[in-house]
Structure 1
Amino acid sequence: MGVLSDYFRAPDAASVVRALEQADGGSPLFAEPPAFDGVEAKRVDPTVVLAQLVAAIRQVEWRVDLVEETTVWPTSPAPGPDGPVDEDDPWMTGPWVSELHLPARDTLAGVRDLDIPAAVARWVRAEELQGARSEDMQPLAEELVLLARRARSADERLYCWMSL
């Protein structure tokens, strides 16, 4: 079982929550019609794999806080560390949606087209992408860059929807 992830742009967290409520938490990219402009990106979580791409673009080492995010779904309070574990709790079952902080969007949006191949070559060396090839990952990187550019141009945020 892998993690499904979709990235999309939206004006604010409130519009994301409304769309998720209408779709019963399903990906807003698969609503009819799609609720937001976005990109399917299986197994590309924001904290590690997307952050590896951001690190590659910035030419810095990856670190856990490189792509900061704020959870917008589920909307219920997260259980405490000693709280009871309920198998039906949305925090356990997902889906989860987070708003990426602006530096990640702006890094993706700001990379020059001619620098994308070199960034992807660095990105695929990440342990989490073991076996991935640049030629297979470059189209996804380009889609994420274009999505970030559209978000920045529209003064919107990037969001990540994830599910098991």
Structure 2
Amino acid sequence: MGALYDYFRAADPAAVAGLMDRNDAASPADLDEWPTPVVELKQIDPTVVLGQLIGFIDPSAHGGTGDRLVWPAGGEQDTDHEGPWVTLLPDTMRDTLAAFDHARLPEVADRWIRVEEFGDYRDGDDEFAADTITELTGLARAARDAGEHLFCWMSL
């Protein structure tokens, strides 16, 4: 099955932590109460694969891709915790995605789908990459416009 990565937007880490605590750590994608769209992905982690997309969109922004664990509390020290986790993505990452010029979509999708981590898709599935970029940039625009942040729920 592999790792699951669900990207979503929320006002702040406290709201996300409360949601996770109330709902047995379920992904926002699985919750009827979650008010905004969730981008459900496999293989696209926030640090490496999404970080490479950020670098293709804006090479000067690539250094700002470090996400921060916000749930579970103290999870950095709990080496036995097997997930799920929620991380907060930097607002620089949100803003880079939100500012993406879709005229560049074919070029960026073609570069991104060729990264090593997309081994299963490397036969030139630019459509998958383009659709994913479109979903992520739409989510980022909505988050930016609402004054919210991007988060990633992940599970093994």
Q: TM above 0.5, one fold?
A: yes
Q: Spell out the pairing of 1:67-106 with structure 2 (5 A cutoff).
A: 67-76=65-74, 78-79=76-77, 89=80, 92-106=81-95
Divergent runs of 4+, >2 A: 33-37, 59-62, 76-80
AA matched with 1:43: Q
> Given the two structures, how large is their TM-score scaled by the length of structure 2?
0.89
Query: Which residue of 1 is the match for residue 141 of structure 2?
Result: 149
SS in 2 for 1:21: helix
| Runs of at least 5 residues in structure 2 that lack an aligned partner in the other structure | none
Q: CA deviation at 1:38?
A: 1.8
Give the letter for the 2:140 counterpart: A
Q: How far apart in 2 are the matches of 1:43 and 1:56?
A: 18
Where do 5+ consecutive residues of structure 1 fail to align?
none
Per-residue CA deviations over 1:24-50 (Å, capped at 9, x if unaligned) read 111012112335432101111001111
Bigger Rg over Cα: 1
Match of residue 112, structure 1, among 95, 101, 114: 101
TM-score by length of 1: 0.85
Deviation at 1:140? 1.1
For residues 14 and 33 of structure 1, the distance between their equivalents in structure 2, rounded to whole angstroms, comes to: 17
State how many pairs are aligned: 153
**Residues 98/5 of structure 1: CA separation in 2 closer, same or farther (3 Å cut):** same
